[in-house]
Structures are given as C-alpha cells and as structure tokens.
Amino acid sequence: MALAGRTAMRWARLRSPCPAAAPLCLPPWLPAGPVACERLLLAAYDKEKLDMSTYPVESIRNFSIIAHVDHGKSTLADRLLEITGTIAKTDRNKQVLDKLQVERERGITVKAQSASLFYSHEGINYLLNLIDTPGHVDFSYEVSRSLSACQGVILVVDANEGIQAQTVANFYLAFEAQLAIIPVINKIDLKNADPERAEKQIEKLFDIPIDECVRISAKRGTNVEKVLQKVIEKIPPPPCNTADPLKALVFDSTFDHYRGVIANIALFGGEIQKGHKIVSAHTKKRYEVNEVGILTPNEQPTRKLYAGQVGYLIAGMKEVTEAQIGDTLFLYKQPVEPLPGFKSAKPMVFAGMYPVDQTEYNNLKSALERLTLNDSSVTVHRDSSLALGAGWRLGFLGLLHMEVFNQRLEQEYNMSVILTAPTVPYKAILSSAKLIKEYGKAEITIINPARFPDKLSVSEYLEPTVLGTIVTPHEYIGKIIALCQDRRAVQKDMLYIDEHRVMLKYLFPLNEIVVDFYDALKSLSSGYASFDYEDAGYQAADLIKMDILINGNPVEELATIIHNDKAYATGKFLCERLKDAIPRQLFEIAIQAAIGKKIIARETLKAYRKNVVAKCYGGDITRRMKLLKRQAEGKKLMRKIGNVEVPRDAFIRVLKRQTDK
Amino acid sequence: SALCLQWPYCRKRCSYCNFNTYVVPAVDEAAVRACLVREPHTLLRLSQVQSVTSVFFGGGTPSLASPHTIGVVLEAVAGAAHLPTGAEVTLEDNPSSASTLCLAGFRAAGVNRLSIGVQSLDDAELQLLGREHTAAEAQGAVEAAWRLFPGRTSIDLLFGLLGQSRGAWARGLEAALGLCDDHISLYQLTLERGMALAAQVWRGALPTPPQDLLADMYQTACAVLVAAGFRHYEVSNFARKGALSTHNLSYWRAEQYIGVGPGAHGRFVPRGEGGHSREARVQTLEPDAWMREVQSWGHGTRRRVALSLLEQLEEVLALGLRMDEGVTHERWGHFCPHLSLEAVFGAPGKAKDLQRQGWLVLDGSGLRCTSEGLALLDSLLPDLLCQLQ
C-alpha cells in the first residue's frame, strides 16, 4: 500500500508541479524562478539537501485537525497545503492526504498522514507540522497517537450540522492531552449554515468563548489564512531543546517494500541525522540512521532533524513491530527517560479469516503479513477450523476497520476470503479446575465462538461494554431511546446542547453496536444523529453460544456468542435472512438456529421444482452457453456446507443487513 | 443441413418479445426477397452442403411476406442444393384473417408445415401480451390451417402469464387440446431485458407468478398432454403420431444449420473455403445494413467464431439433454470419438450423484434427463459442464 500511495502522490505532483499561486513563503527546497518545476522534481532525488536548522523551536508549531466525519477536515488540510505552497493550487486537490484507494472511495481517512508546511508571518518563517488524523470512531486510537506529537489542534465544526458525537469525543481527547484548541466553524458558505448556533454549542459544551471561533469556508478558502495565524498565535512551540540529548517519539510507521520501515517521529529533544546510532527504548535494539527528512507530504530528505520538528526516519528496521508506536528513540550510550508511550490499539471486533481455497493459504498469508505491516492495529492469530481449514483470527478496531481491511486485501492484493461473523472479546471466569489448569488462569478471553467454554465449567461470563455518545436533533429522541433499550443499553446522561440538539450517553454492551447499530441509528434519524464510543470495561452477562445449521451441518462462519435474551429473536432473524441469501437447490434445505442440541428457530428453503429455459432453438445460444459456463465457474467458488452450495458472500450479507423494525 | 430464414418485420411488437424484429411503415419486399435468395446461395456454397433437410421461415412474422416471395426463396434454395421432396418446410404464422387468406398460396409455394402463434385462447390474456388477434380469430386460423396442412399444424401457447391462475391455465389448455393438431409448443413466459412486459414488472406495475405455481402449471400441462397421446419430446415441445419438428430436432441434436437473414445464427463447417472446424455464425442484425452487405458481398455474416471441441461438446450437452432421447452415444461419438459418455459422466463425481438422485440416466442409448430432471435441467447443467472440463 505504501507503494501505491506514494505512486499516487508523485503522480499528483507531476501533473501540476508548478504552484499556480505564488506561495507566501517559499519552502526551502523550492527555489524561485522558472526552473522551479524541474528543480522540484530533482530535489526529490537530491538527498540531504534541506537544512532544517533555520527553524528553531520557537518557530515550530505541531498541530492536528480534528473533526466529525464530513465536517471538512481533509478539505481544510488541502487548503493549508495550498496556501503554504506545499502543493500546487488546483481544483483537483481533494483529500490530498488520503492516499489509499479505500479512503478516497469512502471519503474517510483511515491512515493518518503528516505534512510540514512553511509559512511566513510578521517577518518570521514558521515550520508548521500538520499531523492528519483519521475521521471515524473505529480509528480514534489513531487520533490519540497523532495528538501525542502535537501541542494544539484545530477543532473543525460544520456550521450546518453543529457539534456531533465525534466532535465531542475528539474534543475530550485533545482536552485531556492539554492541547491548545482552536475552534473553527467550517462551511459558512452553505445556504443553511448557522455559525452562531455552532458557536453557542461550543461555548456551552466545551466552555470556549464564542469570540475565539474562526468562521471559515475551507472549500472556498475563506478565512483559512486566519486559521494559520491562530495556529501561530495560540499553539505553543514544542517544549524542548536542541541542546538536550536526542529524544524522539515514534507516533506512526509505514512499511515500504524497498526501504523497510519508515517511522514517523517527533523530536522532543536533541537532533538526529544520517549515521547516528540510535536505540529503541522499547526493544533495546540498536540501529544506524540511514535517512531522516520531513513529509511534504511525501518524503523529503533533510540533513538533520532538530528538537521540536516532526519528520520521518529510516534506520534499517525490517518489521513494523520494531518501530513500536509510542516508543522513544535515543542516541546509543545517551539513554533518556522514555516518553509516556500509549496503550497499544485494543481490538474490539474479532473475526476468522480463511482462504476460499486452501491452496491459496500461502498467498493470503503473505498478503496479510504485508497489509498488517502497515496497519499495526490489526492483531493476527493463527487459527484453524474443521470446516474452513487453516486460517487466522484477526482483531479489528471496529466493523468499519474490518471492512476497510477486507477491501484493501481485495483492492491491493487481489485476495478474496471467507470472513466469519464478527465477535467481540468476551471473557469467562472458569470454575473447572481442569480448565483453569489447561489455560493457566481462571479468567480467559474468548475471541472465537468455537472455543466458548460450557456453562458448567464457568462461574461467570463477562461482556465488553462501551460508553456511547449520541448527538441528535431532539425530534428523534423517542426512537433513539427505544433503539438503545432494544440494544440492552443503560442511559447515563442526557443533555440539551442547544434548544434543538440533545447529547445522550449510554452504556452499551459492545456486541450490540458492533454490526449494525450505526446504520440503524442513521436510518431512524434520517442521517442526523451521530455516534461515537469509548471503551468502558466489562460487565457480567448471561451468554450462550448459538449455532446456525444448514441441513444439520453447522455453519462455522455464523456461530455466535449471544446474550440469552436475544437468542430467539436473533436466531429467527438469521434463519430468515439466510433463506433469502441461499439460492434454491435440487433438494429442500432446513436452516436452523440451535443452542447446544436445542433448535430454537427454523426456516425451510423449498427445493427447485422447475428451472429450465423455455425457448432454446437456433437463436443466440452463444449467450446462453456463456451464462451456463459462468454458473459452472461460480459453482467452484461456492462454499459447500454438506451438499448445500452457498454463495461466498451470503453469510456476510446476512450479517450486515440491518434489522428493519 | 437445416436452413433457417429470418423475416425480420412485424406489424406490431408484442409485449413479451425481445427478438430482433422491426416494425417499419413499408417493407421493400422485392429487395428483401432478392437478399433472401442471394444469401442462402452464398452460404450453401460456403458450407458445401449437398442436401437441405429442412427449411424454417422464422422471424419476425414471415407470414407477412407474400407467397410469391416464399416460393421464389424456396426455388432458389432448391437450386443451390438438393431439397428433397417432402423435406419439412415450416412457416411461422400469426392468426389473422389476412394471412389465413394466403395459406393456400404458401402451400402452393412449397410450405408444408405451419407453426401458429396462438399464445392464448383468452382475449384478456391476448391483450396483455400485445397480440393483434382475438381468441376466436386464433381458433378460425388454426381450423383453416389444419384443413390445408393436416397433421402438420403446430400451435404455440404461453403459460405463467402475470395474474394467470391454475384454473385459467387448465381451461386454456383444454381449449387448446380441443383445437390442436398433432404438435404443441408450450412456453413459460420468461421476462427478459428488452421486453415491454418485463419493464412493467420490474417497475412493480405487474406481479410475477410464484415459482411453485409455474412448476404446477408445467407439470399439469405435461401430464394432460401425455394423457392425450402426446410425446413430450423436448422441454417445451409435444407431438403425437410422430409429428415431431425435424427442423428443431436438428438444433437440439447439434447438427449443422445455416442461418439466413438479419440476426440469424448458424453452426456449420465452412468447407467451401477449406475450413475444418464448426463455426458459430451471426448475421448482421439490422435489416437495412444486412441487405447492403448481402448486396455487396453476397452474405451479411457479421461474426464467425470457430468453436473448440470443448465448446462443441458443451452445446451438444446443453441442447441434447433438452430432448427425451437425450444425447445418444452415436451423437456424442460423432463429436468426441476418443472419450465416451461413460468415461466422462459415468465416473464418480457430480454427474454420478445426479444419476443416483434420479435426475439423469446414463444407459445403453445415451445420457438423458428423467422427466423430473428435465424440469430442472438448468440446475443440472452447471455441474455437468464442470465435470466436462
């Protein structure tokens, strides 16, 4: 992916290497004059040309843009890059920092990117490091790690939509990290924009005076300069000193097939350059620095990096795990107190992944290895199943993360896989001495329904919970409360953030929101309600394992751990949906939900009685033969459960489709 | 070889039709005639076919052509290759008073079999189908036809019409049985792209009949016709007293056939130019373009693709299994002398399973569907094609 992303970036620059508008301050590698274009391209290959010593700590600002999805974060980033001459100003700059195909397709940021901007203000040349953040609740972990390299944030709020659930969550992340916060009201050019209302909400909820908000239109560029000035005025320079020993925080990493690990670093002290011997505080391993540089947003080598600056480092690390996010790097024989690392990403959703055909196992394995190099938040455990063969159990940050990962496997590695029903990490307190001995502990985490321990050997089951924040126009409150109750949620808070909008807080069992809660919420509020959540520990729960049987054979992909109260309804629902998803065959098919040996729901898919084309003469049988052959090919890809043939995407379709209530 | 001639014009487009047909204000019949004379001449010479076993005038509505045109075309065919006396010469006909008047003329021109598109004997159903005739007119047309073509008149019926009940179908079938001669084709209405009716259904304006109802209708019809002495010799075709359509049998038996006219399809070996492999051929679709090509080059073949052995066998299988006789050892051996039917489908595998389950039979005469299997052929074929590979 790193390759694909970089290629795309280079292409974007090659298309229009000449900035159309004169930048306010030329980046140091961009000489003025007509030869600028060629020089710009040459510069990429002319290593170690940049001298970063002209940017002392006082002239550096490190900041992020945080916002609810679609509030204009990427558009603002595009404008900032243009204004500072980092990229050429064209109409085509859309989501410049979103390099992945999936990001552009879905309009979301998955992988945080960084860019160094050069900007002159009141006679001083500033180095502004923009550390982009992902914009979906699943990736909030990436947000917090991006924030650790910053001293301030731009909090973008849509003038039309006002504060949304993610705005709240992101605000608190920044607030707790004690960062300077610059509230920005975006999209003021829209017809229904109501910036006053958004400002009042910000004042009420975040206690930020109205006059501190900057009203902008990122799309049109209105007032964007003012945002830059605020960044310089309000965000403090990084608190560090070049004279101190080297202290570098690894806040992200990517993997390049040719150059190995590229670690994104923020220097909290000292300086770093090629040839330096460095040590990882986490692994104690020693490396020699091959290359340092800044991101503009593609890599731009520099002679050195100095305290306060943000950039990248290549130092012969072979695996992403060597560049542990949150790790501190220091000079060999000059150890420093490591910076507080952050908790590693905690997977919230687990699913089994298997090759469609076992002969594809090795290809899938290498694709997984390469993709996880760039997405260290995915956990991978080898797994195997009687029905599906050898595979893996993967942990994801959320369902979107799982979908994105799957999509990237398809798009970037051309792999299609069998994915099992997602499950959350349940726990069980074992009571059986034998099992305790087997596991070596009394409390176990269950990430695979196939390994769900029987009730008889368990004293208590626990399920993970989250504290969910919902922001909604008040007319939908009734429906939303009903939805939350249906999802076994407990209300914790309810607050009117203005006359029309309410913020609700609920404690949810995680499994109730994993699959389709967000879609359900969106559909019953006509898209107006927003949702975000944070981890809230475990609670006791009455859990059981439910199997889905097709003609008596269990469907491993659909085995789920579920709350007892929900078993009948879910079982019935799954059976009904499966009936629609499986094509009729030559024989009758029984679709059943079972708890242990007890059948709790059943649907019957009747046998085909007639399936033959009526007219077949000397006409266009070529087309008909093509169709038959396509069906014959399709049969080879079908998942066989007993003698029942099931299209591969049937199960995931069954799970994804939301309940229409 | 069989010879199929397409007359591409209709007076009106029916709501269930997506064939390559054209409704034009005036047909330059002389020009079309000249092309329908020239193209078979070219293609018969190309195929070096000695004898034409059957001729079929399809369309479109070929009965809109004058008996003179039909006569001239048949004379030309007989001039280019041997056309044995008594060879089946079928004309598709719509029940309308105008063509009824021409029937004697068609017979005099050489037509000896008629296929009448009755479709339904219910006026409301006929209207839904966009037909121009009434049930009474259809009845008159069929009666007039079998007086002229006794034992050689076939009727087409449609079932599974939107909103049609079991009872309505049973009544329609009974009426048809009272009217018909010795050959009936029964087609389940199948919605496809390009049909006016399909557009209405997909818009939600009309409901589709449930699968089980369609299966019931088919089963009932098969049982009723067999009881009345008909042989169910192909998925949709029934005949008694040996009145099978020779022409159509040659399609299902994967024999050679030459397609003439706009959008016609053919399967033959172009021996005239030294060819050795069977080709799939399609003529140019649009009538005016087709005519220009025939005038310039003697034929309007738009596409020709040589079929691999596998592709030929796939067709042999997919078409042959539509018949009660199935794919005979002889027919199979003709295409694939070195690998027998038993070797391919008698070995353990999906085909063997299907035989065990009672859908297929492989015995001394060949491979064929059971009567239950015939109704499910399209579910059996993908597995068989997989095994063939």
Task: Return the domain boundaries, chain B.
Answer: 2-249, 309-387
Which of B3, B208, B265, B281 to probe the A interface (max A CBs under 10 A)? B265
When the pLDDT of each residue in chain B is averaged and rounded to a whole number, the result is: 92
The class of domain B2-249 in CATH terms is alpha beta
Answer for the pair A265, A309: CB distance below 8 angstroms, yes or no: no
Within 627-646 of A, beta carbons closer than 8 Å to B belong to: 628-629, 631-632, 634-636
**Residue A11, pLDDT score:** 27
Tell whether B285 is within 8 A of chain A (Cβ): no
Tell whether B318 is within 8 A of chain A (Cβ): yes
Could you tell me the CA-to-CA distances from A474 to A481, A500, B338 in Å, in that order? Answer: 11, 6, 78
**Residue A28, pLDDT score:** 44
What ipTM was assigned to the predicted interfaces of this complex?
A: 0.88
Tell whether B382 is within 8 A of chain A (Cβ): yes
The class of domain A57-234 in CATH terms is alpha beta
For residue A408, name the pLDDT band (cuts at 50, 70, 90). Answer: confident
Number of alpha helices (DSSP H) and beta strands (DSSP E) in chain A:
17, 33
Residue B305: list chain A partners with CB under 8 A: 622
CA dihedral (A356, A358, A363, A364) positive or negative: positive
Q: Comparing C-alpha atoms, which of A475, A415, A424, A481 is closest to residue A449?
A: A424
**Residue A112, pLDDT score:** 56
Distance of residue A629 Cα from the nearest chain B Cα, in angstroms: 7
Chain-centroid distance, C-alpha A290 = 30
The class of domain A426-541 in CATH terms is alpha beta
**Residue A48, pLDDT score:** 46
Inspect the interface and report whether the beta carbons of A618 and B377 lie closer than 8 Å: no
* Among chain A residues, CA nearest to B235: A614
* Among chain B residues, CA nearest to A636: B386
Residue A629: list chain B partners with CB under 8 A: 314, 385
Answer for the pair A550, A642: CB distance below 8 angstroms, yes or no: yes
* Burial zone of A48 (CB within 10 Å; 0-12 exposed, 13-18 middle, 19+ buried): middle
* Among chain A residues, CA nearest to B383: A632
Q: Comparing C-alpha atoms, which of A273, A354, A326, A264 is closest to residue A48?
A: A273
CATH T-level assignment (fold) for domain B309-387 = Arc Repressor Mutant, subunit A (1.10.10)
Residue-wise pLDDT for A604-658, tens only, equals 999 998 888 888 887 778 888 999 998 888 887 788 888 898 887 777 677 664 4
**Residue A258, pLDDT score:** 85
The CATH superfamily assigned to A545-655 is Elongation factor 4, C-terminal domain (3.30.70.2570)
Residue-wise pLDDT for A430-447, tens only, equals 998 998 999 899 899 998
Distance of residue A628 Cα from the nearest chain B Cα, in angstroms: 6
Inspect the interface and report whether the beta carbons of B377 and A606 lie closer than 8 Å: no
CATH code 3.10.450.50 for A247-331: no
Residue-wise pLDDT for B172-218, tens only, equals 999 999 999 999 999 999 888 888 888 888 887 777 888 889 999 99
Count of A-B CB contacts under 8 Å: 104
Residue-wise pLDDT for B12-37, tens only, equals 888 888 888 899 888 899 999 999 99
CATH code 3.90.550.10 for A349-419: no
Which residue is associated with the tokens 């997919």?
B318
Tell whether B218 is within 8 A of chain A (Cβ): yes
Residue type, A221: G
Distance of residue B124 Cα from the nearest chain A Cα, in angstroms: 23
Phi-psi region of B257 (alpha: psi -120 to 50; beta: other; left: phi over 0): beta
**Residue A417, pLDDT score:** 83
* Among chain B residues, CA nearest to A634: B382
**Residue A92, pLDDT score:** 61
**Residue A591, pLDDT score:** 94
Inspect the interface and report whether the beta carbons of B190 and A613 lie closer than 8 Å: yes
Count of alpha carbons within 13 angstroms of residue A425, beta-carbon side: 18
Cα–Cα dist A499/B314, whole Å: 71
Inspect the interface and report whether the beta carbons of A613 and B378 lie closer than 8 Å: yes
pLDDT at A25 over 50: no
**φ, ψ for residue B342 (rounded to 5)?**
-60, -40
**CATH 3.30.70.2570 in chain A, residues?**
545-655
**DSSP letter string over A567-630?**
HHHHHHHHHHHHHHHSPP-SS-EEEEEEETTEEEEEEEEPPP-----S--SSS-HHHHHHHHHH
Chain-centroid distance, C-alpha B231 = 17
Tell whether B188 is within 8 A of chain A (Cβ): yes
Answer for the pair A579, A595: CB distance below 8 angstroms, yes or no: no
